Amino acid sequence: MDCLTTNCTASTPSPPTADGEPTDPVGEGDPATDGDTVLVHYVGCLDDGTVFDSSRTRGEPLTFTIGAGSVIPGFDAGVRGLRPGGKRTTRIEADQAYGRRNEELLVKVPLESCPDGLKAATLCD
Protein backbone atom coordinates (compact mmCIF):
# COMPACT_ATOMS: atom_id res chain seq x y z
CA MET A 1 0.00 0.00 0.00
CA ASP A 2 1.55 3.27 -1.05
CA CYS A 3 -1.11 5.52 0.41
CA LEU A 4 -4.46 5.69 2.09
CA THR A 5 -7.30 8.06 1.43
CA THR A 6 -9.41 9.48 4.23
CA ASN A 7 -12.53 9.85 2.12
CA CYS A 8 -13.61 7.63 -0.76
CA THR A 9 -14.75 10.33 -3.15
CA ALA A 10 -12.99 11.12 -6.39
CA SER A 11 -12.62 14.82 -5.68
CA THR A 12 -9.23 16.46 -5.57
CA PRO A 13 -8.65 19.17 -2.98
CA SER A 14 -7.41 22.55 -4.09
CA PRO A 15 -3.69 23.13 -3.65
CA PRO A 16 -2.71 24.95 -0.45
CA THR A 17 -1.82 28.61 -0.41
CA ALA A 18 1.83 29.70 -0.12
CA ASP A 19 1.59 29.57 3.69
CA GLY A 20 0.28 25.99 3.58
CA GLU A 21 -3.34 26.79 4.40
CA PRO A 22 -5.93 24.77 2.46
CA THR A 23 -8.01 26.61 -0.12
CA ASP A 24 -10.82 24.04 -0.47
CA PRO A 25 -14.23 24.58 1.21
CA VAL A 26 -13.80 23.58 4.83
CA GLY A 27 -16.94 24.44 6.80
CA GLU A 28 -17.62 27.43 9.01
CA GLY A 29 -16.06 28.83 12.17
CA ASP A 30 -12.47 28.87 13.32
CA PRO A 31 -10.09 26.49 11.51
CA ALA A 32 -8.66 23.60 13.53
CA THR A 33 -5.06 24.19 14.59
CA ASP A 34 -2.37 22.46 16.67
CA GLY A 35 -3.57 21.87 20.21
CA ASP A 36 -7.26 21.69 19.27
CA THR A 37 -9.12 18.52 20.20
CA VAL A 38 -11.31 17.46 17.29
CA LEU A 39 -13.96 14.83 16.58
CA VAL A 40 -13.65 13.52 13.02
CA HIS A 41 -15.61 11.00 11.00
CA TYR A 42 -13.51 9.40 8.28
CA VAL A 43 -13.53 6.62 5.71
CA GLY A 44 -10.13 5.12 4.91
CA CYS A 45 -9.74 3.63 1.42
CA LEU A 46 -6.96 2.12 -0.62
CA ASP A 47 -6.19 3.48 -4.08
CA ASP A 48 -8.58 0.94 -5.64
CA GLY A 49 -11.46 2.22 -3.48
CA THR A 50 -11.44 -0.69 -1.02
CA VAL A 51 -12.53 0.59 2.39
CA PHE A 52 -10.19 -0.62 5.15
CA ASP A 53 -11.53 1.46 8.06
CA SER A 54 -14.42 3.78 8.83
CA SER A 55 -15.47 5.69 11.91
CA ARG A 56 -18.96 5.84 10.39
CA THR A 57 -19.23 2.03 10.45
CA ARG A 58 -18.41 2.11 14.16
CA GLY A 59 -20.86 4.99 14.64
CA GLU A 60 -18.38 7.07 16.63
CA PRO A 61 -16.03 9.80 15.42
CA LEU A 62 -12.30 9.65 16.11
CA THR A 63 -11.29 12.13 18.80
CA PHE A 64 -7.71 13.41 18.93
CA THR A 65 -5.63 16.52 19.56
CA ILE A 66 -4.05 18.01 16.47
CA GLY A 67 -0.26 17.99 16.61
CA ALA A 68 -0.07 15.64 19.62
CA GLY A 69 1.24 12.71 17.56
CA SER A 70 -1.69 10.42 18.36
CA VAL A 71 -2.60 9.90 14.69
CA ILE A 72 -0.45 9.45 11.59
CA PRO A 73 1.13 12.72 10.38
CA GLY A 74 -0.84 12.77 7.11
CA PHE A 75 -4.17 12.51 8.94
CA ASP A 76 -3.13 15.29 11.31
CA ALA A 77 -2.24 17.49 8.33
CA GLY A 78 -5.48 16.61 6.55
CA VAL A 79 -7.59 17.78 9.49
CA ARG A 80 -5.54 20.87 10.27
CA GLY A 81 -7.32 23.91 8.84
CA LEU A 82 -10.75 22.27 8.67
CA ARG A 83 -13.64 24.21 10.15
CA PRO A 84 -16.60 22.62 11.98
CA GLY A 85 -18.77 20.80 9.45
CA GLY A 86 -16.04 20.85 6.82
CA LYS A 87 -15.11 17.95 4.55
CA ARG A 88 -11.92 17.17 2.72
CA THR A 89 -10.54 14.31 0.65
CA THR A 90 -6.90 13.67 1.43
CA ARG A 91 -4.48 11.19 -0.15
CA ILE A 92 -1.85 10.23 2.40
CA GLU A 93 1.45 8.92 1.08
CA ALA A 94 3.12 6.00 2.87
CA ASP A 95 5.83 8.17 4.45
CA GLN A 96 3.09 10.24 6.12
CA ALA A 97 1.18 7.13 7.22
CA TYR A 98 2.61 3.77 8.28
CA GLY A 99 5.74 3.76 6.11
CA ARG A 100 6.70 1.94 2.95
CA ARG A 101 6.43 -1.81 2.77
CA ASN A 102 9.52 -3.51 4.19
CA GLU A 103 10.03 -7.02 2.81
CA GLU A 104 12.41 -7.80 5.69
CA LEU A 105 9.49 -7.53 8.12
CA LEU A 106 7.20 -9.83 6.13
CA VAL A 107 6.66 -13.20 7.83
CA LYS A 108 5.05 -16.03 5.89
CA VAL A 109 3.25 -18.65 7.95
CA PRO A 110 1.92 -21.88 6.46
CA LEU A 111 -1.89 -21.86 6.56
CA GLU A 112 -1.93 -25.27 8.25
CA SER A 113 -0.01 -23.71 11.18
CA CYS A 114 -2.73 -21.11 11.75
CA PRO A 115 -5.82 -21.40 13.96
CA ASP A 116 -8.98 -22.80 12.38
CA GLY A 117 -11.04 -20.28 10.44
CA LEU A 118 -8.19 -18.23 8.96
CA LYS A 119 -7.97 -18.01 5.20
CA ALA A 120 -5.02 -17.35 2.93
CA ALA A 121 -4.77 -13.74 1.79
CA THR A 122 -2.92 -11.98 -0.97
CA LEU A 123 -0.95 -8.98 0.25
CA CYS A 124 -1.11 -5.75 -1.70
CA ASP A 125 2.04 -4.48 -3.39
For the chain, domains (ranges, CATH) are 3-113 (3.10.50.40)
Against a cut of 0.75, is the pTM above it? no
Query: What residue type is assigned to position 26 of the chain?
Result: V
Work out the pLDDT band at 72, boundaries 50, 70, 90.
Answer: very high
Work out the pLDDT band at 68, boundaries 50, 70, 90.
Answer: very high
Task: Quote the CA–CA distance of 22 and 119 in Å, as a whole number.
Answer: 43
pLDDT for res 20? 54
pLDDT for res 34? 94
